[in-house]
Amino acid sequence: MLGEPLMNRPCGGRFQNVIESIGNTPLVELPRLSPKAGVRIWAKLEGRNPTGSVKDRVAKSMIEEAEERSAIEPGHTILEPTSGNTGISLAMICRRKGYPLKVVMPDNVTGERTQLLLMYGAEIVYSEGAKGSNGAVELALEMAESDSSYYMPYQYGNEANPSAHYHGTAPEILEELDEIAAFVGGLGTGGTLMGNGRRFKEHDPDTKIVAAEPMQGELVQGLRSLDDGFIPPILDLAVLDRKIMVSNRDAIVWTQKLLHEEGLFAGVSAGAIAYVANRIAGELESGNVVFLVPDDGWKYLSSGVYTTPIEQLEGIDDTVWW
């Protein structure tokens, strides 16, 4: 469909409540980022979800799946490790549904994420920031094992996570594009890559599924290096065609590039993913390259990454961004 006109569909709709409005996010072309005329780069803007991130899809899927099998009982507190977005999404949904929520989060995330969690009524337990999101997972698992009053959805091992993308994100993209040469996602819990990857491979086995992975030891914006010792149980490496390493510096440079060249105000993980999408596009002769923008930049304004030259930024390598 490279030569066909775009079908501009109106955003919005009517929903019974805010949870039902999750999904159906825009797919936007970014022509200034494409290195070749025959390759089109598309961004799925997940910041348009109610709490501003793709994790609204995951949180909704995990809680509704637990409700269907009566796993959440009276007296339970929902417990979840997070570096921010999943916790915020769960906090909104738990507030709406009346469940108490406790999140375990690294102590070096941006302040906006803490404020949003408190705003939605979540209780926060901080883990050691130097351990990144892996430290939050470790502490949350210890808490869940020692106290039966916790119900932990556990996004890293819950098949409802990739299912949210298999049944939601991927079909939305396929409604708009007849063919996808490559899909690029960030390597976090693995849910985005697994759910979209499986659905796209069913549609066309030649679609390349590419992961943006941080350098070992770097706390890149919610992504995780598999070399740091924790592989999420839902992650099946056989679904991936490639993994491409991204540094913190490249992630921030490309976050600024998204803003300055395309007007896209995105979180820093999107910069890492866009860097990889551009690289993959440069290797193709034609086709659509789709990448997922996990969230908008509102939670990262205090970091200064949007207005400060990168050579003047502090704390690039010791902040958990997403």
Tracing tokens 């490790």 back to the chain, one arrives at 81
- How big is the chain by its Cα radius of gyration, in Å? 19
pLDDT higher than 50, residue 197: yes
Whether 200 has a pLDDT exceeding 50, the answer reads: yes
pLDDT at 181: 98
Q: Is pLDDT at 56 greater than 80 in this prediction?
A: yes
Q: How far apart are CA 71 and CA 297, in angstroms?
A: 34
> Using 50, 70 and 90 to split pLDDT, how confident is the model at 265?
very high
Q: Tell whether the model's pLDDT for residue 206 goes beyond 80.
A: yes
77 phi and psi angles, rounded to 5 deg: -110, 130
Residues catalogued as catalytic = 55, 269
**C-beta neighbour count of 119 within 10 angstroms:** 12
pLDDT digits (tens, 9 = 90+) for 114-169: 999 999 999 999 999 888 888 899 999 999 999 999 999 999 999 999 999 999 99
Domain boundaries, the chain: 19-48+159-312, 55-151
Distances (CA, A) of 71 to 77, 151, 198, 225: 12, 8, 27, 32
Q: What is the pLDDT of residue 278?
A: 98
Q: What pLDDT, on the 0 to 100 scale, is given for residue 175?
A: 95
Confidence band of 220 (pLDDT split at 50, 70, 90) = very low
At residue 113, does pLDDT exceed 50?
Answer: yes
Give pTM, 2 decimals.
Answer: 0.90
State the pLDDT confidence band at 318, using cuts at 50, 70 and 90.
low
As given in the structure block, the two tokens for residue 52 are 């501003």
The single-letter code of the amino acid at 247 is S
In the chain, pLDDT over 90 holds for what percent of residues?
A: 75
What count of other Cβ atoms lies within 10 Å of the Cβ of residue 302? 10
At the top level of CATH, the class of 19-48+159-312 is alpha beta
**Residue 185 pLDDT grade (very low, low, confident, very high; cuts 50, 70, 90):** very high
pLDDT tens-digit series, residues 155-180: 999 999 999 999 999 999 999 999 99
User: Do the domains spanning 19-48+159-312 and 55-151 agree at the CATH topology level?
Assistant: yes
Q: Give the three-class secondary structure for 101.
A: strand
- Please give the Cα distance from 50 to 165 (Å, whole number): 17
CA distance 230 to 48: 30
Give the Cβ contact number of residue 285 at 10 Å.
8
pLDDT of residue 69: 96
Give the domain 55-151 fold.
Rossmann fold (3.40.50)
Closest C-alpha among 121, 145, 122, 141 to residue 133: 141
